[in-house]
Amino acid sequence: MNQINPLQIGGLLVVVILFLFFKISGVQSEILEADKHFKKIEKLALDVSALKNVYADKKRIQKSLQKIFSNRKLQSANLKIENKNKKIKVSSESMDSIALNYLMGKILNDSYNITTLKIKQLSKEKASFEMEIKW
Amino acid sequence: MKFSSNKQRVFLNPFSDEIITIEKGKKIDIVLSPSMYWVKKISLPVKSVREVKKLLPSIFEESLPKGHYSYYAYKSEDEFIVFAYEDKKILEIIHGKGIVSSQISSIYFAQTEFDKIETVIGIDEINAIYLKDKLLLLAPCSWFNTMEKLSLDSLKLSKHKISLQQYGHIIDPKSLYKIGVLLSFFALILGSELFIAKSKLETIEAKKEEIFSKYKLQSSTLQNEAALKKYTKIYTTQIKLRKYLSFFLKLHLKKNQNIVLVDYKNRVLSVTVSNIKEGKEGSIVSMLKREKIEYKISFHSDTVKVEIKL
């Protein structure tokens, strides 16, 4: 006649309920924390991805620069282009103001990581040009 | 008759001071003396014992002293033999005899075990039991001339055993059942809630992993934060470079004044303007100040060099 005290069963159930409450509270805190972290990661991912697409997309940068450099307005400038793994160097010993205006207009109105730029006036209509863009 | 070797039989007589000793490892079958329960023989227009049990509290209502009773019934031919007993009082007597609950195997009423006796049986020096009209009664020994000595060894125990509610006096078993069901239900809801919460947590973690692979992020947050810092720096520098170049290109210079050199490297932009003597740089300086641009200015012959750190 081993009977279990009903108060013990009730107590056990109360302990189970308290334990569940404690666990739920813990998991909910974890959810809040994880959600906060997720939102932070999501923002970080979007920001990094957007900036990378602008400044580190080698294919996009090379393609758009190629399009600019192949314009007939720059033919007289005799552009010297050095393509390297992480950067591109462009220079011209002498270019007229139309070519310079066109080139600078295109470069400055798009997003490139210009690391060096040197424009030196040679005469009233001519200037030398050096530029390095990295990605 | 063969008895189980690990069982001991005891006739529980509350009027006896005898302490019952139980052999180690053995359990006991207890037969309750008639003084420990109330018994009635009744005829009712019902068929099953189950229906009778529902009526027992009202059947005994007027004949019992105030207390917390449990009931038992069985059918005997066309009649029902019904019992009322107080669990707590019986347990107190059992414990008073030195028996603990775990040592008890089964509990029987003397009524069910001695319902075929034909003689009077003395249960102690003062009291005896005898059958009258199918009911086992307790009477003083002095009423009888002859009587037999009580012996349980030859008794074939019936199937009518009871289980004492050790805690029935604390809380009504029905209420307890309801509370238990309620608490279990609540625990079940909480369990489900916990399951849902854990699933939600797993979903968030999975979404986090998805973000990492979708945007081709590096494995640690620190690395990604460093990447963001690097690209943000590039972004702000390039915005500034374009802003300052635009500033110089819009600069109102005199006819003989020209920008002769624009040089940008190591995040320093320097612009050299010709034909400006020291002290005549006022218009450039005031525009730089108006735009709140920090600058360094230097002169060489008739040229002025403005340096801005990006």
pLDDT in tens, A19-53: 999 999 999 999 999 999 999 999 999 999 999 99
* pLDDT value at residue B1: 43
Q: For the residues A71-83, what does the mean pLDDT come to?
A: 92
Contact B260 A23 (CB under 8 A): no
Residue A44 in contact with partner chain B when CB distance is under 8 A = yes
Token pair recorded at residue B237: 């520098």
* pLDDT value at residue A52: 92
Span B254-292, pLDDT tens digits: 888 889 999 999 999 999 998 887 777 677 888 888 888
CA distance A26 to A37: 16
ipTM greater than 0.95, yes or no?
Answer: no
* pLDDT value at residue A21: 93
Q: Is the pLDDT of residue B169 over 80?
A: no
Contact A48 B204 (CB under 8 A): no
Residue A54 in contact with partner chain B when CB distance is under 8 A = yes
* pLDDT value at residue B292: 86
* Res. B165 pLDDT band, cuts 50 70 90: confident
Q: How far is A83 from chain B (nearest CA, A)?
A: 19
Residue B182 in contact with partner chain A when CB distance is under 8 A = no
Q: Could you say which residues from 264 to 303 on chain B have a Cβ atom under 8 Å away from some Cβ of chain A?
A: 264-265
* pLDDT value at residue B186: 92
* pLDDT value at residue B2: 45
Residue A75 in contact with partner chain B when CB distance is under 8 A = no
Residue A119 in contact with partner chain B when CB distance is under 8 A = yes
Angle between helices A97-108 and A58-69 (to 10 degrees): 160
Q: Report which listed range, B77-91, B144-158, B163-177, is most confident.
A: B77-91
Contact B191 A35 (CB under 8 A): no
Token pair recorded at residue A128: 């030398």
Residue A113 in contact with partner chain B when CB distance is under 8 A = yes
Q: Could you say which residues from 86 to 115 on chain B have a Cβ atom under 8 Å away from some Cβ of chain A?
A: 101-102, 104-107
Q: Is the pLDDT of residue B168 over 80?
A: no
Contact A121 B221 (CB under 8 A): no
Order of strands across the sheet with B121-122? B135-140, B127-132, B121-122, B148-149
Span B85-144, pLDDT tens digits: 999 999 999 988 888 888 899 999 999 999 888 899 999 889 999 999 889 999 999 999
CA distance A56 to A34: 30
- Chains A–B, number of C-beta pairs less than 8 Å apart: 151
* pLDDT value at residue B18: 79
Give the global pTM: 0.61
CA distance B240 to B233: 11
Place of tokens 């190591």: B266
- The CA–CA distances, whole Å, from B287 to A36, A93, B238, B254, B299 equal 46, 32, 21, 15, 18
Chain A positions touching B194 (Cβ under 8 A) are 20, 23-24, 27
Residue A21 in contact with partner chain B when CB distance is under 8 A = yes
Token pair recorded at residue B143: 């009423």
CB-count exposure of residue A48 (10 Å: 0-12, 13-18, 19+): buried
Q: Is the pLDDT of residue A89 over 70?
A: yes
Q: For the residues A80-104, what does the mean pLDDT come to?
A: 93
Residue A9 in contact with partner chain B when CB distance is under 8 A = yes
Half-sphere exposure of A97 (CA within 13 A, CB side): 6
